[in-house]
Amino acid sequence: MILPRIGDQRRAVVCPEVTRTQIVQFAGATGDLSPLHVDEPAAVELGYPSVMAHGMLTMAVTGSLLTEWWGDDRLTAFGARFLAPVWPGDELTAVAVVTAVRGTRPGSCVDLQLTTTNQSGVVVLTGTATVRMVEPVGG
């Protein structure tokens, strides 16, 4: 088993371009049809420049970095704060950094700090995750 070390990190473009179609797909798949996400005139009426992506869409694509790194059944906790809106046209890049390794045997835990930014470097999501330690996917 390869032990992760504090400071180990993965970075990936988790969404090359958020599109209105993707936002509508996500709304349909989750049942979150808030006008802020699917009704452009209503979003503009509320003072926003356009519809915005769901925070949960940003969290879901950020989660794909975790499952690609650690596998899809190792998470024990995953949390996120949605700090800034994500708009159609944005590119999202996620970074996960190991902040703690608790124990050295399988079943021990690795804590991660998560940050997702848009193409301008604006942080749109910060979060944390904990995974049960097994060999990371791809070593």
Residues 118-137 that bind another protein (CB under 8 A): 124
Q: How far is the CB of 116 from another protein (least distance, A)?
A: 11
Asked if residues 4 and 101 have their Cβ atoms less than 8 Å apart, the reply is yes
> Residue 90 burial (CB < 10 Å; 0-12/13-18/19+)?
buried
Q: How far is the CB of 57 from another protein (least distance, A)?
A: 7
Q: Does 4 bind another protein (CB under 8 A)?
A: no
Among 69, 80, 96, 117, binds another protein (CB under 8 A): 80
Q: How far is the CB of 3 from another protein (least distance, A)?
A: 22
**Helix (H) or strand (E) run with residue 68 in it:** helix 55-70
Residue type, 18: V
Tokens of 12: 């990936």
Task: State whether residue 10 is helix, strand or coil.
Answer: strand
Q: Does 96 bind another protein (CB under 8 A)?
A: no
Q: Does 66 bind another protein (CB under 8 A)?
A: yes
Any long-range contacts for 107-110 (C-beta under 8 Å, 24+ apart)?
Answer: 107/132, 107/133, 108/132, 108/133, 109/76, 109/133, 110/4, 110/70
Q: How far is the CB of 19 from another protein (least distance, A)?
A: 11
Residues 16-45 that bind another protein (CB under 8 A): 22, 25-26, 28-36
* Residues contributing to the site for another protein (CB under 8 A): 14-15, 22, 25-26, 28-36, 46-48, 52-61, 63-64, 66-67, 72-73, 75-86, 124
